[in-house]
Chains A and B, each alone.
Chain A
Amino acid sequence: MNWALNLLLLLFLVTTAAVAIRLRDLLAVAIVFSAYSLMMAILWTQLRAPDLALTEAAVGAGVTTVLFVLTIFKTTRRED
C-alpha cells in the first residue's frame, strides 16, 4: 500500500514542478512552489529522514515562500 501513496506523492510532485515552470503569474508560482515543498517534506518522512522533512517544511514551505512573496511585492508580479 505504501508504494501507491509514494507514487501518488511523486506524481503530484512532478505536476507541481511542471505547473510552477509553466505559470506566468509569479505569485501563483510561489504558492505552487510551497505545495511542492510540502509534498517533498512528506516524501522525506516516507524515506525515513525526519530531519530533512522538518527542514523542508520549515524552510521550503515557510521561509522561502515569505521571501518570494516579498520579492514579488518589491518587483513585478508578471513574468514577460
Chain B
Amino acid sequence: MSEYVRDAFIVLFSLTGLFFFVGGTVGLLRCPDLYARLHPSTKCDTLGACSVILALCLQAGASFVTLKLLAIAFFLLLSCATCGHAIGRSAFRSGVVPWHKPGVKPWPIEEDE
C-alpha cells in the first residue's frame, strides 16, 4: 500500500516540476522584455527543478544519494535566485528600460525619448 502512496507522490512532484518547466519556457518565449523574462525563468529553475529533485529523492529512498540530491537542490535554490537578482539589478543599473504600453509610464523613470 505504502508503495502506491510513494509512487503517487513521485508522480505528483514530477508533474509539478514539469508544469513549472513548461510554464517557464512559455514565459521565456512570450514575455516582452528582460525583467519579465527573468521572472518565469527563475521560477522554472527553482520550483521546477526542486520539485523534480524532490521526486528523485522519494525514488531513491533513505540513502546517500538523497543527501546529495538535497544538497544539489539547496545550492540550486541559492544560486538561481541570486543570479536572477544580479542580472536584473545590473540590467537596471545599465539603463535597460522596462517594457510598457506606449504612452503609459510604469513608474517614474527618467527616459529620454
A–B direct touch in complex (beta carbons closer than 8 A): no
Binding site for A on B (CB under 8 A): none
